[in-house]
């Protein structure tokens, strides 16, 4: 029998890689983890955490304005981008340190450097080779840059978090999670924003009511939502960038931000040395146990491009660790994954969209409510909320819950638990509401829409 340096060698110190390594070590495995960048991956360094901190910053813009309706006299607020970036960076450094400490405490050997698979049991980092019984690839992904004239003049979400100054006018290309979140942040912080989306819809993978509603809410907040339009070219015009659109408009911008999707990080990993199969977009192909076509090599998280969300990578990592080192036979469930988009206003969703529910179920009931939150009766804001519930008319099971409104992610989390338990509409109706809240609307929606 072979003896290897480690039982598990993880490539990638993001959410999934760190979680899998920590759990594997707790189960008694000898684990090493290689990471070429700062620990914490996209979520900590260029995703969820800096984005949410900046989203908080952007919300203050409205909070200051709305406070007047509640009797507050405030001076003219001033925003300082450099202060926000410095404070955000300080917090991220703290989190990088916490990740390092988690690995040290779990006795995972952390190696700083780019790892390359040499053969099925050998990995090279910084010119040194290590052997391992199992290899786990958790290298995440990176933002893509569209192929158009002048695309080198644009930036991606990776660059956004380190912009030297807040642009006066930004063009955001895309209509997915990142586009609406970063457009909302820029707009809230005082930048004039044009969001250019190739189709008529945004958040296309979600219930279509959410995207339509968000378009109108973002417009009310001042974002120029340019739909059914493409960026044809970008050119330099002094300090400015000229953005030529397919609808004939030309936008003068200080910053063009591409948010047109992400791609798995597989380059330079040595996948070809062992013949690991990938899809056309580079995503590693794995089976239900996250094994690649090479028996002892596994992959999880954004690099497999199933559901690119931090909590999903964490769950996948725990499944791999338990199955390898606790002789488990656990499978990952992708049902009822709740998710939030931190646009302004927030969007959150769990379960099936109306379209998907109608495809899968013969009879579907839709409950919908659109209203102004109590806060805005005094705040002067014209923001509105949308809540929608999709129910299987034959079984009464709730199939999907969707929302646009403040703290939508906080509201949806509890409903996701209920859905995971198979909640019926009758059980939702029998729940006493918490008054006065937005969330109570979900337990008081009695009449289906026609
Ligand atoms: P998404 O896949 O969510 O959206 C990509 C957007 O870009 C879509 O609107 C798409 O248009 C558009 N697009 C794609 N290719 C082109 C092209 N060639 N030309 C013009 N437009 C194009 O990607 P994101 O980059 O926003 O986010 C990646 C993933 O990261 C998300 O899917 C999500 O899983 C994760 N994420 C999660 C967050 C959260 O949990 N809050 C936050 C940020 C990211 P169309 O709709 O027409 O296809």
pLDDT of res. 2 = 65
67 CA distance to ligand 1 centroid (A)? 34
User: Does residue 311 line the site of ligand 1, with CB under 6 A?
Assistant: no
362's tokens: 């013969």
As annotated, the active-site residues are 435
User: Does residue 259 line the site of ligand 1, with CB under 6 A?
Assistant: yes
205 CA distance to ligand 1 centroid (A)? 9
- Among the atoms of ligand 1, which is closest to the Cα of residue 147? 18
Q: Along the 450 residues of the chain, how does pLDDT read in single tens digits?
A: 569 999 999 999 999 999 999 999 999 999 999 999 999 999 999 999 999 999 999 999 999 999 999 999 989 999 999 999 999 999 999 999 999 999 999 999 999 999 999 999 999 999 999 999 999 999 999 999 999 999 999 999 999 999 999 999 999 999 999 999 999 999 999 999 999 999 999 999 999 999 999 999 999 999 999 999 999 999 999 999 999 999 999 999 999 999 999 999 999 999 999 999 999 999 999 999 999 999 999 999 999 999 999 999 999 999 999 999 998 889 999 999 999 999 999 999 999 999 999 999 999 999 999 999 999 999 999 999 999 999 999 999 999 999 999 999 999 999 999 999 999 999 999 999 999 999 999 999 999 997
Domain map (residue ranges) of the chain? 6-143+263-325, 151-260, 345-443
Name the residue among 95, 105, 111, 93 with its Cα closest to residue 22.
105
pLDDT of res. 104 = 98
CA-nearest residue for atom 46, ligand 1, is 204
pLDDT of res. 74 = 85
Q: Which fold has domain 151-260?
A: FAD/NAD(P)-binding domain (3.50.50)
Among 261, 305, 338, which is best to mutate for testing ligand 1, by the most ligand atoms less than 8 A from CB? 261
- 265, 303 Cβ separation under 8 angstroms: yes
CA-nearest residue for atom 17, ligand 1, is 260
pLDDT of res. 430 = 98
Q: Which CATH class is domain 6-143+263-325?
A: alpha beta
229 CA distance to ligand 1 centroid (A)? 16
User: Does residue 162 line the site of ligand 1, with CB under 6 A?
Assistant: no
Alpha-carbon 68 to chain mean position: 34
Rounded Cα distance, 285 and 276, in Å? 8
CA-nearest residue for atom 1, ligand 1, is 176
Same fold for the pair 6-143+263-325 and 151-260: yes
Q: Tell me the whole-structure pTM to 2 decimals.
A: 0.97
- 109, 32 Cβ separation under 8 angstroms: yes
- Among the atoms of ligand 1, which is closest to the Cα of residue 143? 25
User: Does residue 31 line the site of ligand 1, with CB under 6 A?
Assistant: no
| String of DSSP letters for 78-116 | ---HHHHHHHHHHHHHHHHHHHHHHHHHTT-EEEES-EE
pLDDT of res. 71 = 97
80 CA distance to ligand 1 centroid (A)? 29
Name the residue among 14, 17, 16 with its Cα closest to residue 31.
17
- 158, 262 Cβ separation under 8 angstroms: no
203 CA distance to ligand 1 centroid (A)? 8
- Give me the residue label for tokens 């769990």: 350
Rounded Cα distance, 246 and 239, in Å? 23
Residue 256: which H helix or E strand, with range?
Answer: strand 255-258
User: Does residue 154 line the site of ligand 1, with CB under 6 A?
Assistant: no
pLDDT of res. 279 = 97
Q: What distances in angstroms separate CA 178 from CA 48, 53, 244, 260, one per listed residue?
A: 10, 14, 22, 8
Q: Which CATH number fits domain 345-443: 3.10.580.10, 3.30.1050.10, 3.30.390.30, 3.30.70.2190?
A: 3.30.390.30
User: Does residue 342 line the site of ligand 1, with CB under 6 A?
Assistant: yes
User: Does residue 308 line the site of ligand 1, with CB under 6 A?
Assistant: yes
Among 151, 154, 177, 347, which is best to mutate for testing ligand 1, by the most ligand atoms less than 8 A from CB? 177
- 176, 369 Cβ separation under 8 angstroms: no
202 CA distance to ligand 1 centroid (A)? 9
């Amino acid at each position: 029998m072979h003896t290897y340096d480690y039982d598990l060698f993880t490539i990638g110190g993001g959410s999934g890689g760190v979680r899998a390594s920590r759990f594997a070590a707790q189960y008694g495995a000898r684990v090493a983890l290689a990471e070429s960048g700062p620990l914490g991956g996209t979520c900590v360094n260029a995703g969820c955490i800096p984005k949410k901190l900046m989203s908080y910053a952007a919300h203050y813009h409205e909070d200051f304005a709305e406070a007047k309706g509640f009797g507050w006299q405030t001076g003219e607020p001033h925003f300082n981008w450099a202060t926000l970036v410095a404070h955000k960076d300080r917090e991220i450094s703290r989190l990088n340190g916490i990740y390092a400490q988690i690995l040290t405490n779990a006795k995972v050997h952390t190696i700083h450097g780019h790892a390359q698979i040499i053969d099925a049991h050998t990995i090279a980092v910084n010119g040194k080779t290590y052997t391992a019984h199992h290899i786990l690839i958790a290298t995440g992904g990176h933002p893509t840059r569209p192929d158009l004239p002048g695309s080198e003049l644009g930036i991606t979400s990776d660059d956004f978090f380190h912009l030297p100054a807040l642009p006066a006018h930004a063009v955001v290309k895309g209509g997915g999670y990142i586009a609406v979140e970063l457009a909302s942040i820029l707009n809230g912080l005082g930048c004039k924003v044009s969001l250019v989306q190739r189709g008529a819809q945004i958040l296309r993978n979600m219930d279509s009511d959410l995207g339509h509603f968000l378009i109108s809410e973002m417009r009310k907040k001042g974002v120029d939502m340019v739909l059914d339009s493409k960026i044809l070219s970008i050119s330099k015009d002094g300090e400015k960038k000229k953005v030529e659109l397919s609808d004939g408009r030309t936008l003068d911008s200080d910053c063009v931000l591409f948010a047109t999707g992400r791609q798995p990080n597989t380059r330079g990993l040595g996948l070809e040395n062992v013949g690991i199969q990938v899809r056309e977009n580079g995503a590693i192909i794995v089976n239900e146990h996250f094994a690649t076509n090479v028996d002892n090599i596994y992959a999880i998280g954004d690099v497999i491009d199933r559901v690119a969300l931090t909590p999903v990578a964490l769950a996948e990592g725990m499944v791999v660790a338990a199955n390898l080192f606790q002789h488990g036979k656990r499978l990952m469930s992708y049902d009822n994954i709740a998710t939030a988009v931190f646009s302004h206003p927030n969007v959150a969703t769990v379960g099936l969209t109306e379209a998907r529910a109608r495809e899968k179920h013969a009879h579907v009931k839709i409950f919908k409510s659109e209203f102004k939150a109590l806060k805005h009766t005094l705040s002067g804001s014209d923001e509105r909320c949308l809540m929608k519930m999709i129910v299987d008319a034959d079984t009464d099971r709730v199939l999907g819950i969707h929302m646009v409104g403040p703290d939508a992610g906080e509201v949806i989390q509890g409903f996701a638990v209920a859905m995971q338990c198979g909640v019926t509409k009758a059980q939702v109706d029998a729940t006493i509401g918490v008054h006065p809240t937005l969330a109570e609307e979900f337990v008081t929606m009695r009449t289906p829409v026609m």
